[in-house]
A and B are shown apart, each in its own frame.
Chain A
Amino acid sequence: MVHYCVAKLTGKEKGLQKRLYSGGLKRGVALWFIAASALSCFSTAALSQDASKTAPLKVLRMAFSTAETGFDPPRVSDLYSNTINEAIFERLLTYDYLARPARLAPMTAVALPEITDGGKTYTFRLRHGIFFTPDPAFGGKPRELTAADYVYSFKRVLDPKIRSPWAFLLEGRIIGLDALAEAAKKTGKFDYDTEIEGLKASDRYTLQVRLSEPDYNFNYVAAHTPFSAMAREVVEKYGEDTMAHPIGTGPYVLKQWTRGARIVLEKNPDYRGMIWNFAASEEGDAELISEMQGKRLPLIDRVEISIIEEEQSAWLAFDRKELDFSGVGTFREKVFDEKGELKPEWRAQGVKLMRAIDPEVTYTFFNFRDPIVGGFEKEKLALRRAIIMAYNRDEEIDVIRKGQAIPATMPIPVGVVGHDPRYQPLNTYNPALANQLLDAFGFKKGKDGFRTMPNGAPLLLKYATGTTALERQFNELWKKAMDSISVRIAFQPGKFADLIKASMACQLQMWGSAWTADYPDGDNFMQLLYGPNIGQNNHGCYESKAFDAFYEASLKLPDSPERNRLFLEMTRQMEVDGAWVLGVSRERNMLIRPWVIGYKKHPILSATWIYLDIDPAKKP
C-alpha cells in the first residue's frame, strides 16, 4: 500500500494576518539540518513483549530524534514537546484527521464558535462533563473542565513569568489582556483574578473572547496546542515544576518521563472517549475508513517514546522491529528499488510506506544590510544572482536529501495557497552564466584565482553554520558551488542561539533556514521577506519597497486569483533582487509496521497515535 498524500492545503482558510505558527515546534526544529532527517516526528513503534495473554496491551513504540523540553504547553515551542502536549491537553478546536485541505473541527467545544460583531467577538460553547485527570491538586474531587479554565490558560500565555514563546499570538489582540500583562511586569505578579472584557466565562460552559480588531482567524489560535486548557489548581500546586506535571483532559496521560531519553504515555482511563468518524477526502482514505470507522478512541494503550539522536541507531532499531515507525532519511537504498518503489523484502514483511511532501521551503538568505552581499546596486544584484545560479540544487537533492525532496520554485511551497506550478524560476542553475555575469560586472579574478569586488576590495562570503554532520555536507556543496565561480567562501560556525541572535540583528551574511507552514497560506511564507518583519522573521533583512507594496496589497485581499497574482509578483521581485537561494520541499517517507493501522500524515497535527490502532493478529 503506497499512497501519495501531497499535502494539499489549498482552501479557503486564509491565514492569520500575523504569523501563526502551528509549531514553533516547527520553527525551532525548522532549520533544515535538524528536520532533514525524516526520522523526526514519528519514527517508530513496536509491540510490548510483556503483554498479558488475556488482554494484550497495545503498545506503540516511537522515537524522537531530538530531546523534548517539557509539558507545559504555553512554555514550550519545540515539535516534540508540543506533540506530547497535543495528546495530554485539549484545545477548544482541533483539525479533522482525514480532511485535506486541513479543516478545523471542534474539540472541547460543541461546535465551531459563533463569530459576531464583525469578527470581533468569538463565543465558544463547551461540552458538559469533560473532566481533568485526577490529581492531588483537586483534593480528591472530580474536576470538570469549564470556560474559566480557558480564561485562565489564555491569560497565562501573557504572564511574564511564563515567558511564553507564543505570547505574540495574543499580544495586542484581546481587549484588556495587555494591560494586565503590563501591570504584572511592574508588580511582578500576574493578577489572574481581575476579570477583563476580552476574556469572559459568561457562564460555566460559555467562553467569550473579544478582540480589539476584527479577525476571522482567531480559530487557528484556539486550535493551537499552546492554548490548551490547564487547571489553575495544578499549575499553582506544582509552580515551577509544572513542566513535569501535565494534567489535562486529553486521551493520554504522562506515565513516566526521563528527560531527553524516554517518555511513556498511557491511555487516560477517565477520558470521555471519541468515535473514529472521518470522511474520505483523498484517494486511499477508503482503506483507512474501512479499518477504523466506528472504533472508540483511543485504542493504543501505551505509547513509548525513546529519544534516539543517532540516525543509524534509530534505523537499526526499526529494522530489528524494536520500533514500529521509521523515516527513510539516509537509508534510501535500503528502502527503495531502482524505480523508487518499496523494495520487495519490505513488502513481504507487510511494511507500509506513507509518502507526503511537507508544506515547507528551505532557503538560504542573503543579508541585505551586509557590506559585501547586501544592497540593491546592479552589481550586488548580479553578485547575489550569480551565487544563486552557481548553487547546484539538484545535487543537494540527489546527494544530501537522498532524492527525497523536490526543488522549490517559489517561496510558497507545493500544497500551500498561492503556490503556482506554472511559475518558471528566474535564477536556475547555470554556473557558466554566473561566471559571465560576474565578469560583466567587474568581479575580476585576483592573483590567487579568486574574484574580488569590482573596486578591488576582497570578496569573502561568510556562511553561518551549525555543527552537525548534515550541515557539513551542505558546507561542502556550497564550497563546491563557490569554487565553480571563483568566489571565496568561509563557514562561520555557531550555536543555534548565537546564530539566531546574530541574524535577528542583521549580522549574519548568509544562513540556511527552513520554514514549515503553520497555516496553509502563502502569507505565512511571504511574511519572511516583508521589510517591517526585520528583527523578527525576516532574517535576511530584505527591504524592498516593491515587494512590501505587493505584500501589503495582498493582506487586504481574500484568497483570490488577484491575490495569487500578487504572490507571483512577490516571487519574481525577490528573484530579481536575489533575496534567497531557494532550496527544496522535503518529502516525508514513513515506514510503518503492518500491525499499525490507520496512519495518515497530518499536515498540522502530530500526535496522530490518538487515531491509530494496533492489530495483534499481525504481530510476529
Chain B
Amino acid sequence: MTAYIIRRLLQMIPTMLGVVLLLFVLFNWVGGDPAYILAGKNTGEAQIANIRHQLGIDRPAYVQIGIFIKQIVTADFGASWSTNEPVSDILKTRLGPSLTVMVPLMVLGTLLAIALSLIVARFRGSLTDRMVMVACTVGMSISILVYIIVFQYVFAYRLGWFPVQGWGDSLWKNLTTFAALPILIGLCVGLAPDLRLFRSFMLDEIDQDYVRTARAKGLSEARILWIHVLRNASIPIVTYVMAALPGLLVGAFLIERFFSIPGIGREVLLAVERSDFPVIKAITVYVAAATMLANLAADLIYKAVDPRVELK
C-alpha cells in the first residue's frame, strides 16, 4: 500500500513537469507581454526594458522554467506582477468564497442526486422515471448564462428573495444570503448530469445477485435500496465526486462574475486579462496538484471499500 502510494506520488512528478512546460509555452511565449500592461499607455523602449528586467522575463527560457520549478518546490510563487500582492495571499482570500459556494453546492447536489437516483432507479422504466429524467434533461439543457440572467432578474430583483449581488465578511451571512442563489443555479445546471450518472450506478447494483438474495430473504425494498444498493453504489459516486472537486474551483467563474463573488474563477479571468503570470502559474499548479491527489485519494478509497480492486 505504502509502496503504491509512493509510486503514485512519484508518477506525479513527470505530469507536473508537463504542466509546467505546457503552461510556460502557452502563456510565456504566446501570451501577452505583461510589461506593456504595467507600463501604461505612455511608455518607451527603456521603460519596457526596465520592466521586463524587473519581472525576469528577459532571461532565457530555461532559466525561467528553472525558477518556475523552484517556485513549485518551495510553494512560493512570489508576488503578482500587477498588484505586488503575494500570490499565496491572493489564493488564500479567493479560496474561501469559492468554497463557500462550491462545497454546499457539491454536498447538496450529491445528496439530492443520490436520493433522486435511488427513487428513479426503484421505479426504473416507469412514468416517474421517465418524467424525472426528462425534466432533469430539460433543466440541464438551458444555458447557465440564461439561468444566471433570468434568476438574477426574477428571484433577486423582481421577487427580492435574494440580494442581486454581493459578498460579506461573515461565513454564515455569505452562505445563507449571498451564496444561496448561486447555489440554486448551480443545482439547476449540475443536478441532471449527476442524476443521470448516479442512476446508472444504481441500476448496475440493482441487477446484482445480492439484491435478489436480499429480496428473497424478504427485506423491504426501501431497506435494500437505501442500505445495500446505496452502500455499493457509493464507491463510484465517491470516486466521481472526488475527481470533480478540483475542477469546480475554477469552473464557477460565470456565477462569480455576475454575483460579484471574490472567488478563484474570477481571479483567473483577471489574471489572464492582465497576463499576471505568477497568479496563473500558482492557480494552475495548485489545481493540477489537487486534481492528481484527488485521483489518488479516489483510487485509495476505492481500494479501501472494495478489496477486490487491484491497485496497479
- Residues B273 and A495 in contact, CB atoms below 8 Å apart: yes
A2 at the interface (CB under 8 A from B): no
B218 at the interface (CB under 8 A from A): no
- Residues A69 and B83 in contact, CB atoms below 8 Å apart: yes
How many contacting A-B pairs (Cβ < 8 A)? Answer: 148
B6 to chain A, nearest CB (A): 38
- Residues B157 and A319 in contact, CB atoms below 8 Å apart: yes
* A14-67 CB contacts (< 8 Å) to partner B: 19, 21, 24, 27-28, 30, 67
A341 at the interface (CB under 8 A from B): no
- Residues B267 and A260 in contact, CB atoms below 8 Å apart: yes
Which of A185, A258, A312 meets B262, CB within 8 Å?
A: A258
Q: How far is the CA of A258 from the CA of B166 in the complex (A)?
A: 12
Q: When A316-B153, A320-B160, A497-B33 are in contact, do A306 and B51 touch as well, CB less than 8 Å?
A: no
Q: Which residues of A sit under 8 angstroms from B284, Cβ to Cβ?
A: none
Nearest residue (CB) in A for B276 is A69
B42 at the interface (CB under 8 A from A): yes
Q: Which residues of A sit under 8 angstroms from B33, Cβ to Cβ?
A: 497-498, 501
- Residues B83 and A259 in contact, CB atoms below 8 Å apart: yes
A and B contact pairs by CB, cutoff 8 A, 29 listed: A24-B40, A24-B41, A69-B82, A160-B50, A163-B39, A163-B47, A165-B42, A167-B47, A168-B42, A168-B44, A241-B84, A241-B85, A260-B266, A306-B165, A312-B152, A313-B165, A316-B165, A320-B156, A494-B32, A495-B275, A496-B32, A497-B34, A497-B274, A498-B32, A501-B32, A501-B36, A504-B36, A535-B44, A536-B42
B11 at the interface (CB under 8 A from A): no
* A144-198 CB contacts (< 8 Å) to partner B: 160-161, 163, 165, 167-168, 185
A439 at the interface (CB under 8 A from B): no
A186 to chain B, nearest CB (A): 13
Query: What string of 1s and 0s marks CB contacts (under 8 Å) between B157-169 and chain A?
Result: 1001001111101
- Residues A497 and B32 in contact, CB atoms below 8 Å apart: yes
Q: How far is the CA of A27 from the CA of B34 in the complex (A)?
A: 17
Which of B38, B90, B259, B275 meets A163, CB within 8 Å?
A: B38
B37 at the interface (CB under 8 A from A): yes
Which of A30, A69, A243, A317 meets B164, CB within 8 Å?
A: A317
* B82-97 CB contacts (< 8 Å) to partner A: 82-86, 90, 93, 97
- Residues B257 and A310 in contact, CB atoms below 8 Å apart: yes
Q: When A27-B42, A310-B258, A496-B37 are in contact, do A316 and B86 touch as well, CB less than 8 Å?
A: no
- Residues A27 and B41 in contact, CB atoms below 8 Å apart: yes
A600 to chain B, nearest CB (A): 28
A112 at the interface (CB under 8 A from B): no
B16 to chain A, nearest CB (A): 27
B270 at the interface (CB under 8 A from A): yes
Nearest residue (CB) in B for A81 is B83
Q: How far is the CA of A161 from the CA of B266 in the complex (A)?
A: 29
B143 at the interface (CB under 8 A from A): no
Q: Which residues of A sit under 8 angstroms from B156, Cβ to Cβ?
A: 316, 320
* B interface residues, tally (CB under 8 Å): 50
Q: When A241-B86, A259-B93, A260-B270 are in contact, do A317 and B37 touch as well, CB less than 8 Å?
A: no
- Residues B41 and A313 in contact, CB atoms below 8 Å apart: no
A262 at the interface (CB under 8 A from B): yes
Q: Which residues of A sit under 8 angstroms from B258, Cβ to Cβ?
A: 310, 313
Q: When A309-B257, A313-B152, A536-B44 are in contact, do A240 and B160 touch as well, CB less than 8 Å?
A: no
Nearest residue (CB) in A for B90 is A259
A244 at the interface (CB under 8 A from B): yes
B54 at the interface (CB under 8 A from A): yes
Q: When A161-B54, A307-B260, A319-B157 are in contact, do A497 and B37 touch as well, CB less than 8 Å?
A: yes
4 smallest CB-CB distances across A and B, nearest first, come from A261-B262, A165-B40, A497-B32, A497-B37
Which of A242, A309, A320 meets B157, CB within 8 Å?
A: A320
Which B residues are within 8 Å of any A CB, using their own CB?
A: 32-34, 36-45, 47, 50-51, 54, 79, 82-86, 90, 93, 97, 149, 152-153, 156-157, 160, 163-167, 169, 257-262, 266-267, 270, 273-275
Which of A27, A262, A314 meets B167, CB within 8 Å?
A: A262
Other 8 A-B pairs with CB < 8 A, given A259-B83, A260-B266: A19-B42, A27-B42, A165-B43, A168-B43, A185-B50, A259-B262, A261-B266, A312-B149
Nearest residue (CB) in B for A19 is B42
Q: Which residues of A sit under 8 angstroms from B260, Cβ to Cβ?
A: 261, 306-309, 313
Q: How far is the CA of A101 from the CA of B270 in the complex (A)?
A: 37
- Residues A316 and B36 in contact, CB atoms below 8 Å apart: no
A77 at the interface (CB under 8 A from B): yes
Nearest residue (CB) in A for B93 is A258
Q: Which residues of B sit under 8 angstroms from A568, Cβ to Cβ?
A: none
A43 to chain B, nearest CB (A): 12
A499 to chain B, nearest CB (A): 9
B31 to chain A, nearest CB (A): 8
Q: Which residues of A sit under 8 angstroms from B270, Cβ to Cβ?
A: 67, 260
A294 to chain B, nearest CB (A): 36
Q: Which residues of B sit under 8 angstroms from A244, Cβ to Cβ?
A: 84-85
B94 to chain A, nearest CB (A): 9
Nearest residue (CB) in B for A304 is B166
Q: Which residues of A sit under 8 angstroms from B37, Cβ to Cβ?
A: 496-497, 500
Nearest residue (CB) in A for B38 is A163
A509 to chain B, nearest CB (A): 19
Nearest residue (CB) in A for B80 is A259
A72 at the interface (CB under 8 A from B): yes
A608 at the interface (CB under 8 A from B): no
A537 at the interface (CB under 8 A from B): yes
A415 at the interface (CB under 8 A from B): no
* A282-299 CB contacts (< 8 Å) to partner B: none
- Residues A163 and B51 in contact, CB atoms below 8 Å apart: yes
Query: What string of 1s and 0s marks CB contacts (under 8 Å) between A299-341 and chain B?
Result: 0000000111110111011011010000000000000000000
Q: Which residues of A sit under 8 angstroms from B36, Cβ to Cβ?
A: 497-498, 500-501, 504
Q: Which residues of A sit under 8 angstroms from B50, Cβ to Cβ?
A: 160, 163, 185
Q: How far is the CA of A398 from the CA of B151 in the complex (A)?
A: 29
Which of B43, B85, B160 meets A243, CB within 8 Å?
A: B85
Q: Which residues of B sit under 8 angstroms from A535, Cβ to Cβ?
A: 44-45
Q: Which residues of A sit under 8 angstroms from B152, Cβ to Cβ?
A: 312-313, 316
A320 to chain B, nearest CB (A): 5
Nearest residue (CB) in B for A533 is B42
A70 at the interface (CB under 8 A from B): yes
Q: Which residues of A sit under 8 angstroms from B51, Cβ to Cβ?
A: 163
Q: How far is the CA of A373 from the CA of B235 in the complex (A)?
A: 65
Q: How far is the CA of A496 from the CA of B274 in the complex (A)?
A: 9
Q: How far is the CA of A232 from the CA of B85 in the complex (A)?
A: 19
A66 to chain B, nearest CB (A): 9
Q: Which residues of B sit under 8 angstroms from A167, Cβ to Cβ?
A: 47
Q: How far is the CA of A163 from the CA of B260 in the complex (A)?
A: 31
Q: How far is the CA of A69 from the CA of B81 in the complex (A)?
A: 10
Nearest residue (CB) in A for B84 is A243
Q: How far is the CA of A320 from the CA of B40 in the complex (A)?
A: 37
B93 to chain A, nearest CB (A): 6
Q: How far is the CA of A312 from the CA of B50 in the complex (A)?
A: 40
Q: How far is the CA of A72 from the CA of B84 in the complex (A)?
A: 10
| From B36, B259, B270, residue with most partner A Cβ within 10 Å | B36
B90 to chain A, nearest CB (A): 6
Q: Which residues of A sit under 8 angstroms from B157, Cβ to Cβ?
A: 316, 319-320
Q: How far is the CA of A30 from the CA of B37 in the complex (A)?
A: 13
Q: Which residues of A sit under 8 angstroms from B32, Cβ to Cβ?
A: 494-498, 501
A560 to chain B, nearest CB (A): 27
